[in-house]
């Protein structure tokens, strides 16, 4: 069984995601945003990039791409659906995840490795990790500032929907370790089989590129695929 | 523009050039023809002031597949892999409108690369501004960096390195040069040829509008004055989303073998994209401007031919493949129009509103362009400049000077800039920004490509020939320290007004110095760009060549020398010439003394070459975990940068304090593990490179020790604080 990696016009991390999944033993195909049949796929990744140029608002046009009907169907059927960076923004716009991603606090694009503390292992991103682990993963975004209404934040927190928070290298979660102003340092959100993450785990799968800490996140995703058994 | 000015003058053409056009055509040109000649014969497109001298560069080597003259240089990496590389400037547009000027500079250089069939895999930006205490210069830096980031990140090509520097001479004329590298399999190489008669020309990408009209002729080929703001409408507006789709569509066309040639539309737009491919193919072409997809109605033929609307490509396609090409364009959601047919003969015939508006020899636009031999002469002030040296009776406070130099924006931490760029996309970036150079692996092979881009305007101002040579050695050495053998150069020659004899002299001297270094190292120049008229209100910039050197590591070392790999217990050695005692042109004199004078130390061809060979050997054999060249700021800064990156102290003995800040070429500071002492010494000896055992790494202070003056030191933390705030602290208000 295969993972569908969706390519919107303007996506740019799709090849990296395929490379990372295959490096970790998965198999993945690129599927064009006009495809309307994802039968044969047991999981979906919406990769990073600038879908439809990020015009209007990040993810706002992508949610209407023809492929999203199938993404919704697979999500409803329990297949793991992961949005990375721009893909996270698309999932929020599509209503598959709560909240929105605003411009970074300092109104600048941020590309640098940051640290994430594992908060929960009850997610398709962290089931193979341990609570308290600190992972070094590259962040690469302009709109990475996770925000939601007070009520939504309360239900996200009480529901345990935050698998990863921005932290220091020693695991301290505070304002200093918050790179972009995200509420409660939220770096990822997960609701049952759907998850979004702002940093790029696919950029951290080999020591030669600086870190292999992203492996555990993508391995969790691949393992979830088996567990869900669509 | 005056209402009474003749049209050719308003378009930036001289009366002589107008006369040449009349002679060529045996009649006065039409308005459309005049528009075409004016852009194609502009300084920016024709290289008319520089062409006579660019022939000096060595351009051939067995591994050069495509040299200068095409859209990009192409070199053979072995095993069927090719690399395409090019550098371009967008100086004037970036001054007039920093965000869009820089953004479209990125867009333009990308098209030069994927025009050749290669996927662009990395960008480098070389940017220079006036001092940051002026809010206007902060505005320009902010805008240019946001423009490079906004376009590069969104188009999906990582910016993996570059350089930022600040100097008074760039206040009225910042420099924005961008280099791009692409890779491809050899069967994907495409040239900018129109093919044979019958071939169909298809215009792909953005619609054509009035934006950017006169960019090349009016903006890039003239000097600036107080009215430069009025030139803002000549700057194009970029759309990275359109370019991203265009890249993917073109790469699919190449993969499927659907085109015989491709030409991008940059400066001179359709004028260039029709005439140059026809000239290269030795054909003519019939072009129908009514078929061009436009974004506004009522454009004249001249406007259509001169428009610099971004994100457009001209594909030359066999008639049997037209439908397939249009289908690929449709899939990627880009517009496409069949606009022309290649013809026998050599006539470029352009029609608009069903009338022929231009009919001229295709090759005359490029090949008949004037070649000027402008006056050149050594500046009258040069002798005075060389004798204007400082004498030092007392040694300075070394650590105080060091901290001041580390805190200078040209020396200190550039991460404020590069953290705004995606520098990791494609998962190739083994060594990214902030190190000696960049190292990109080619996945699925053992190969890696190293690139360093460098500039040294102050040295070239003091001595353009020495500066030009030193620059090539520096960039080649940066590549070598990553374990790669230097193999090709691209250059962007940024100079002042060529109508001044001293500017032409600086240009010719620089080209000579660079050429000598390239010849000695056996690395050809495979492409480049010349940017003249970098002056505002009569003040010229320093002569500022920028070079990009490409090197190949095959195989790539498993463990590449990095700045952050020094550890306590490793020895601190220097390779290269000893006893440098010249501070002319140094950062020390500029920053501490506010002085620019004297004559910088020139290159030594024997040692220069040997040090580069040594660096490759040390990296390939994984004998030293850290190498860093001595350049801006001298050895004191080189050692400090290693200490800051590695978070370890160092203890260094020196004989003369001047040697700590001198910037003579061909010198490397290395961290050498004791177990490799013998092997390293033997390698250096075999290559004839002097070794100086200066000290060792350890502790948490950087200390400088002299038998007479005693020791002075600064903590690594304090040095790091000064270095990290250099740009960041100035940009935070």
pLDDT tens by residue, A177-225: 999 999 999 999 999 999 999 999 999 999 999 999 999 999 999 999 8
Which of A7, A13, A109 to mutate: most B Cβ within 10 Å?
Answer: A109
Q: What is the pLDDT of residue B231?
A: 60
- Tell whether A108 is within 8 A of chain B (Cβ): yes
Element (H, E) at A196: strand A194-197
Distance from CA of B559 to the nearest CA of A (A): 8
Q: What is the pLDDT of residue B224?
A: 63
CB-based contact B241 A16, cutoff 8 Å? no
SS3 category, B142: helix
CB-based contact B419 A112, cutoff 8 Å? yes
pLDDT digits (tens, 9 = 90+) for B361-399: 999 998 888 999 999 999 999 999 999 999 998 999 999
- Residues in B touching A31 (Cβ below 8 Å): none
Q: How many contiguous H segments (helices) and E segments (strands) does chain A have?
A: 5, 11
State the average pLDDT over residues A29-43. Answer: 95
Q: Kindly state the greatest CA–CA separation across chain A.
A: 45
Q: How far apart are CA B293 and CA B610, in angstroms?
A: 56
Which of B160, B329, B427 to mutate: most A Cβ within 10 Å?
Answer: B427
Question: Could you tell me the two tokens for B720?
Answer: 């790091």
> If chain B, 733 residues long, is cut into consecutive pieces of 10 residues, what is the mean pLDDT of each piece?
74 92 96 93 91 96 94 97 97 92 94 96 98 97 97 97 97 96 96 95 95 64 62 74 95 96 91 95 97 94 91 97 98 97 97 97 92 95 96 94 98 98 97 96 97 98 98 98 98 96 98 98 97 91 98 96 98 95 96 97 98 98 98 98 98 96 98 98 98 98 96 98 98 82
The answer to whether the beta carbons of residues A212 and A147 sit under 8 Å apart is no
CB-based contact B424 A10, cutoff 8 Å? no
Q: HSE (CB half, 13 Å, CA atoms) of B623?
A: 19
Q: What is the pLDDT of residue B1?
A: 44
CB-based contact A140 B422, cutoff 8 Å? yes
Could you tell me the CA-to-CA distances from B539 to A86, B194, B496 in Å, in that order?
46, 43, 8
Strands B539-540 and B355-361: unpaired
Q: How far apart are CA A31 and CA A211, in angstroms?
A: 28
Q: What is the pLDDT of residue B2?
A: 46
Helices B240-255 and B322-331 cross at an angle (nearest 10°) of 140
- Tell whether A14 is within 8 A of chain B (Cβ): no
Q: Distance between terminal CA atoms of chain B?
A: 39
Q: What is the pLDDT of residue B11?
A: 87
Q: How far apart are CA A41 and CA A24, in angstroms?
A: 17
Helices B716-731 and B634-646 cross at an angle (nearest 10°) of 90
Residue A107 makes CB contacts below 8 A (sequence gap 6+) with none
* Residue ranges of chain B whose CB lies within 8 Å of a chain A CB: 146, 149-150, 153-156, 239-242, 244-245, 331-333, 415, 418-427, 429-430, 441, 443
The answer to whether the beta carbons of residues B583 and B390 sit under 8 Å apart is yes
- Residues in A touching B427 (Cβ below 8 Å): 16, 19-20, 202-203, 206, 209
Is the Cα dihedral B435, B441, B446, B449 positive or negative? negative
* DSSP code at position A67: T
- Tell whether A16 is within 8 A of chain B (Cβ): yes
Which of A8, A12, A20, A180 to mutate: most B Cβ within 10 Å?
Answer: A12
A-B contacts at Cβ under 8 angstroms: 80
Q: What is the pLDDT of residue A155?
A: 96
- Cα nearest neighbour of B425 on chain A: A13
pLDDT digits (tens, 9 = 90+) for B590-649: 999 999 999 999 999 999 999 999 999 999 999 999 999 999 999 999 999 999 999 999
**Residue ranges of the domains in chain A?**
2-223
* CA angle centred on B571, ends B569 and B573, rounded to 5°: 165
Element (H, E) at B351: strand B347-352
Interface ipTM above 0.90: yes
Q: What is the pLDDT of residue B424?
A: 97
Residue B24 backbone zone (phi > 0: left; psi -120 to 50: alpha; other: beta): alpha
Q: How far apart are CA B454 and CA B437, in angstroms?
A: 10
Element (H, E) at B563: none
- Tell whether A107 is within 8 A of chain B (Cβ): no
Q: A33 an active-site residue?
A: no
* DSSP code at position B688: T
Question: Could you tell me the two tokens for B337?
Answer: 């129009």
Residue B444 makes CB contacts below 8 A (sequence gap 6+) with none
Q: What is the pLDDT of residue B300?
A: 94
Q: What is the CATH number of domain A2-223?
A: 3.40.50.880
The answer to whether the beta carbons of residues B268 and B215 sit under 8 Å apart is no
Q: How far apart are CA A50 and CA B331, in angstroms?
A: 18
Q: How far apart are CA B666 and CA B661, in angstroms?
A: 15
The answer to whether the beta carbons of residues B317 and B204 sit under 8 Å apart is no
State the average pLDDT over residues A37-48. Answer: 96
Distance from CA of B461 to the nearest CA of A (A): 35
Question: Could you tell me the two tokens for A203?
Answer: 């950029």
Nearest-CB residue to A16 (from B418, B426, B441): B426
Q: A200 an active-site residue?
A: yes
- Residues in B touching A9 (Cβ below 8 Å): 241, 244-245, 332-333
What dihedral angle (degrees, nearest 10) is formed by the CA atoms of A110, A113, A117, A120? 80
Q: How far apart are CA B644 and CA B648, in angstroms?
A: 7
- Residues in A touching B242 (Cβ below 8 Å): 53
SS3 category, B264: strand
In what order do the strands lie in the sheet containing B701-706? B626-629, B668-672, B571-575, B691-697, B650-653, B701-706, B710-715
* DSSP code at position B633: T
């Amino acid at each position: 069984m295969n993972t569908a990696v969706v390519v919107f016009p303007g996506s740019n991390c799709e090849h990296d995601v395929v490379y990372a999944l295959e490096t970790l033993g998965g198999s993945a195909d690129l599927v064009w945003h006009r495809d309307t049949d994802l039968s044969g796929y047991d999981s979906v990744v919406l990769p990073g990039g600038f879908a439809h140029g990020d015009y209007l608002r990040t993810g706002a046009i992508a949610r209407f791409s023809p492929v999203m009907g199938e993404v919704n169907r697979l999500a409803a059927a329990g297949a793991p659906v992961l949005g990375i960076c721009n893909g996270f923004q698309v999932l929020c716009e599509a209503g598959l995840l709560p909240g929105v991603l605003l411009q970074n606090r300092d109104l600048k694009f941020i590309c640098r490795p940051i640290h994430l503390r594992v908060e929960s292992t009850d997610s398709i991103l962290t089931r193979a990790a341990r609570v308290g682990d600190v992972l070094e993963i590259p962040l690469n975004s302009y709109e990475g500032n996770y925000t939601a209404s007070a009520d939504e934040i309360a239900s996200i927190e009480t529901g345990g929907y935050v698998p990863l928070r921005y932290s220091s290298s020693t695991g301290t979660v505070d304002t200093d370790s918050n790179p972009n102003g995200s509420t409660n340092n939220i770096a990822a959100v997960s609701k049952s089989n759907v998850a979004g993450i702002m940093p790029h785990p696919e950029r951290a799968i080999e020591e030669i590129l600086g870190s292999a800490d992203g492996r555990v996140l993508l391995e969790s995703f691949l393992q979830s695929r088996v567990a869900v058994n669509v | 523009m005056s209402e009474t000015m003749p049209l050719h003058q308003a378009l930036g053409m001289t009366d002589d050039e107008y006369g040449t056009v009349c002679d060529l055509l045996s009649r006065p040109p039409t308005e459309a023809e005049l528009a075409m000649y004016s852009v194609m014969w502009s300084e920016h497109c024709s290289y008319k002031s520089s062409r006579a001298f660019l022939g000096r560069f060595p351009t051939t080597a067995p591994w050069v597949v495509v040299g200068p003259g095409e859209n990009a240089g192409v070199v053979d990496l072995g095993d069927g892999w090719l690399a395409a590389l090019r550098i371009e400037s967008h100086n004037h547009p970036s001054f007039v409108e920093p965000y869009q000027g820089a953004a479209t500079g990125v867009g333009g250089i990308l098209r030069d690369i994927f025009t050749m069939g290669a996927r662009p895999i990395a960008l480098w930006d070389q940017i220079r501004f006036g001092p940051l205490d002026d809010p206007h210069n902060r505005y320009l830096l902010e805008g240019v960096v946001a423009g490079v980031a906004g376009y590069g990140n969104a188009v999906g090509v990582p910016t993996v390195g570059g350089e930022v520097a600040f100097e008074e001479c760039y206040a009225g004329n910042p420099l924005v040069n961008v280099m791009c590298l692409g890779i491809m399999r050899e069967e994907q190489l495409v040239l900018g040829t129109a093919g044979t008669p019958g071939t169909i020309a298809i215009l792909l990408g953005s619609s054509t509008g009035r934006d950017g009209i006169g960019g090349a002729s009016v903006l890039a080929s003239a000097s600036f004055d107080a009215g430069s703001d009025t030139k803002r409408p000549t700057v194009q507006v970029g759309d990275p989303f359109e370019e991203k789709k265009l890249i993917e569509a073109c790469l699919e066309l190449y993969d499927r073998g659907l085109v015989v040639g491709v030409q991008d539309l940059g400066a001179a737009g359709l004028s260039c994209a029709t005439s140059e491919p026809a000239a290269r193919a030795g054909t003519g072409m019939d072009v129908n401007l009514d078929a061009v997809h436009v974004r506004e109605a009522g454009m004249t033929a001249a406007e259509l031919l001169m428009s610099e609307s971004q994100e457009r490509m001209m594909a030359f396609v066999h008639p049997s493949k037209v439908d397939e090409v249009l289908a690929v364009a449709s899939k990627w959601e880009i517009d496409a129009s069949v606009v022309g047919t290649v013809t026998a003969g050599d006539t470029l015939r352009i029609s608009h509103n069903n009338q022929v508006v231009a009919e001229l020899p295709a090759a005359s636009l490029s090949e008949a362009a004037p070649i000027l031999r402008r006056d050149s002469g050594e500046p009258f002030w040069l002798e005075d400049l060389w004798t204007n040296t400082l004498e030092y009776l007392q040694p300075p406070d070394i650590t105080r000077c060091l901290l001041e130099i580390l805190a200078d924006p040209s020396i200190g931490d550039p991460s404020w800039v590069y953290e705004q760029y995606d520098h990791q996309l494609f998962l190739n970036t083994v060594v990214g920004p902030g190190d000696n150079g960049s190292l990109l692996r080619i996945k699925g092979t053992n190969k890696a490509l190293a690139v360093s881009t460098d500039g040294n305007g102050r040295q070239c101002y003091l001595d353009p020939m020495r500066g030009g040579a030193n620059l090539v050695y520096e960039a080649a050495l940066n590549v070598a320290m990553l374990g790669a053998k230097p193999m090709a150069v691209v250059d962007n020659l940024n100079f002042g007004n060529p109508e001044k004899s001293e500017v032409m002299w600086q240009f010719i001297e620089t080209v000579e110095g660079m050429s000598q270094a390239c010849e000695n190292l056996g690395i050809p120049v495979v492409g480049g760009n010349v940017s003249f008229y970098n002056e505002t209100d009569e003040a010229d910039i320093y002569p500022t060549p920028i070079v990009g050197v490409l090197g190949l590591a095959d195989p790539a070392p498993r463990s590449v020398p990095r700045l952050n790999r020094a550890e306590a217990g490793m020895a601190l050695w220097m390779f290269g010439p000893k006893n440098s005692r010249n501070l002319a042109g140094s950062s020390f004199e500029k920053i501490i003394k506010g002085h620019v004078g004297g004559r910088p130390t020139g290159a030594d061809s024997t040692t220069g070459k040997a040090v580069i060979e040594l660096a490759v050997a040390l990296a390939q054999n994984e004998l030293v975990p850290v190498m860093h060249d001595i350049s801006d700021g001298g050895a004191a800064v080189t050692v400090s940068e290693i200490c800051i990156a590695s978070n370890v102290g160092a203890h260094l003995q020196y004989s003369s304090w001047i040697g700590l800040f001198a910037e003579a070429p061909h010198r490397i500071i290395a961290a050498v593990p004791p177990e490799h002492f013998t092997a390293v010494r033997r390698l250096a000896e075999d290559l004839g490179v002097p070794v100086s055992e200066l000290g060792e790494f350890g502790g948490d202070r950087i200390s400088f020790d002299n038998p007479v003056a005693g020791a002075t030191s600064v903590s690594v933390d304090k040095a790091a604080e000064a270095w990290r705030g250099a740009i960041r602290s100035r940009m935070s208000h």
